[in-house]
A and B are shown apart, each in its own frame.
Chain A
């Protein structure tokens, strides 16, 4: 009995140390709405995914798919039928119980292209959603879809109370550990602990305030002045180095799903020539770029996938830095001292690191006599000219969507990569029910892209966050855009 009392006393002490308090987190921009099914702005998911809004399944901090509103699930051997067993006793923040009805409403809407749902194509293969009883939901697919579960874990798949659509945009109601409290326009978003959360003991914090602080200097000043405790993302490498030396702060540096990609227009000279594209790969020293431009933060990659993602193959060594070989390849393609390779390198103005990387790449290319003319354009111009019109030769941008290798199966995408072999591999990947076999196909796709040297994949962008040293439990990586505060606490 005495041991027991001692244990409870210790437990209480531990909890008292970890529970309570308010956390103020800086985010870079204000989202247009607060419903990830109404806008693809990643700011929404960063603040609300899993904190407020949840789906049947979710990503954990390692990027694994784990139970959320579904306790467990089962796919049929053909992987055409998926049965989800819902968690019982879950309540929405407005008090109404969560049942199969809410799931049916959600996916009827998600499938309908006229409903205004962000990505109806994720749910295209769903033929029917049925409720066997209030806590069992069955999905029937038209054809096997390897990405089905992944798509159900995305922020687009969060589930709100049945019948609520418009209100979710400004007053989101979910089932997460925090409930939405207020959106102060231009200032920030406030969350409060939801006492009815189904996981006992969670969350630890009483309140969370996400403050919109677009300026990096203002963020740093606010952190140092104690106005905020966390810069949630986008700390610059320079600021990270400075903060790392200060014992009051700590810097989190991890991986993201962003591939910083120097895109080449594969349909236009000079990059419609494989030899030229391969020459570019040999001419660029990615390690030097990581060291020089990013002060050591970031990981070189060699294909369109991030090291933290499933079925990743490290192809960063496929084309070792070799200026002589690059020159030889260019010579083969008809370029040399008399007729140097010239092209326009389009940089998007609002992305400082992509711009600096672009400038550094141009400088490296200049060493083997390649003349890249730099052209800086405004973001809207980049979108309409480069992204939508493919009117460019080379450009550089971060592709932050997780698991987005499928863009190479679309010949109209701005790389203008047109490969029947890749399209066939991708289709086979999607239709392969066995995850291990699908994984092999995913790896093959990465190798094919690297062999075809479609783009110059420069690096996986680092996830850099900074916080006061007493902030504990922050996600070290960003396998999906999420500033998850479910298990964050303040050490005292």
Chain B
């Protein structure tokens, strides 16, 4: 187990480094530059040259890459061009909101998907209706779903705030502001989880030991909860690992729709401003989160199913 975990960790680190390096290379290919974004259209060549020098953009790409890597080893992600502040501090400021959003989305999706899947495998009519509804949800783009929910719950029935974030000083208020975006994410992801859970529940229910349990006279609800749910949740955990990544990208869209100051909207701003250090740093943070998520899922897998061997 320890050797396996160590190997997985090394692999995760390699993936992480590759993601960062790819981001670095792709940014070089992107047209446009931060100097133009700051100085505007009519900047004189002298002003451009001076700013490029002060930002270190006049150095050759390989040298910049080397500087960036050596900074990374010291856990220094550099300084944002747009904000003039350390990337690490900016990311740390925004991280809690995005994590809270992803956790709300994930938790909400599970809370919606599992009970509905359990209902669906028990009744044919409900199954048809729920499957149809979930299919619809899955095909809706996140931003559309967000706007629809925004209008329904914030404008027409003013139950929840329409967007923005008041900060963490008042956790209740913060939660209220995250509820609608979290629900948007949860609904979008619940559809996939529902289908997975339903499928694997149906498969597990056709197994011999379920028939045995039923034959022994165990009540149906108990069969589902005790004997079917745990084995059926295995593929669910795998999907959850993948969903973690999707949720992070979904969070970018949701943050834009609800004007939330999270990592996603920061990354969008950084992209528009061609703020290379900030963008690179954020890619690293986001990639790190996804890698961590997958690592956690791999390890969790073994805990849930003793049959999985660490080879």
Contacts and interface: CB of A to CB of B under 8 A. Distances in A.
A225 B164 CA distance: 12
Interface in A303-324: none
Interface in B192-221: none
B257 A40 contact: no
Contacts of B256: 214-215, 218
A40 B35 CA distance: 11
B259 A211 contact: yes
Contact of B165 (A120, A187, A221, A226): A187
Interface string B83-97: 110000010011000
Nearest to A33: B84
B30 A380 contact: yes
Contacts of B46: 113-114
Contacts of B265: 186
Interface in A384-399: 384-385, 387
A212 interface: yes
A226 B31 CA distance: 40
B257 A218 contact: yes
Contact of A218 (B258, B261, B274): B258
A346 interface: no
B141 interface: no
Given A218-B258, A222-B163, A380 B40 contact: no
B32 interface: yes
B32 A39 contact: no
A114 B257 CA distance: 41
Among B42, B43, B46, B259, the most chain A Cβ lie within 10 Å of the Cβ of B259
B213 to A, nearest CB: 51
Nearest to A220: B155
B155 A187 contact: no
B28 interface: no
Contacts of B93: 185
A379 interface: yes
Interface string B158-202: 100111110100000000000000000000000000000000000
A269 B82 CA distance: 40
Interface in A189-239: 211-215, 217-218, 221-222, 224-227
Interface residues of B, number: 45
Among A170, A214, A221, A381, the most chain B Cβ lie within 10 Å of the Cβ of A221
B299 interface: no
B151 A170 contact: no
A378 interface: yes
Contact of A387 (B41, B84, B150, B155): B41
Given A39-B39, A113-B46, A221-B150, A380 B163 contact: no
B69 interface: no
Interface residues of A, number: 41
A225 B46 CA distance: 48
A41 interface: yes
B273 A218 contact: no
A213 B265 CA distance: 11
A169 B83 CA distance: 10
A169 B47 contact: no
A385 B258 CA distance: 34
A113 B39 CA distance: 13
Nearest to B94: A186
Contacts of A40: 39-43
B229 interface: no
Given A30-B269, A383-B32, A212 B47 contact: no
B31 A378 contact: yes
B261 A187 contact: yes
Interface string A346-385: 0000000000000000000000000000000011110111
B14 interface: no
Contacts of B94: 186
Contacts of A222: 162-164, 259
B90 to A, nearest CB: 7
Interface in B264-295: 265-266, 269, 273-274
Contacts of B167: 184
A212 to B, nearest CB: 7
Contacts of A12: none
A116 interface: yes
B196 to A, nearest CB: 31
Interface string B45-61: 01100110000000000
B266 A225 contact: no
B206 to A, nearest CB: 46
B150 A32 contact: no
A250 interface: no
Contacts of B43: 40
A121 interface: yes
B44 interface: yes
A169 B46 CA distance: 21
Contacts of B259: 211-215, 218, 222
Interface of B: 30-33, 36-44, 46-47, 50-51, 82-84, 90, 93-94, 147, 150-151, 154-155, 158, 161-165, 167, 256-259, 261, 265-266, 269, 273-274
Interface of A: 30, 32-33, 39-41, 113-114, 116, 118-121, 169-170, 184-187, 211-215, 217-218, 221-222, 224-227, 378-381, 383-385, 387, 401
Closest 7 A/B residue pairs (Cβ): A380-B32, A40-B40, A186-B261, A225-B162, A380-B31, A224-B155, A222-B162
10 contacts: A121-B44, A184-B261, A185-B93, A186-B94, A186-B265, A221-B154, A227-B164, A381-B32, A383-B31, A385-B31
Given A222-B163, A225-B155, 17 more contacts: A32-B83, A118-B40, A215-B256, A218-B150, A218-B257, A218-B259, A221-B150, A221-B151, A221-B155, A221-B163, A222-B164, A222-B259, A378-B31, A379-B32, A380-B30, A380-B274, A387-B41
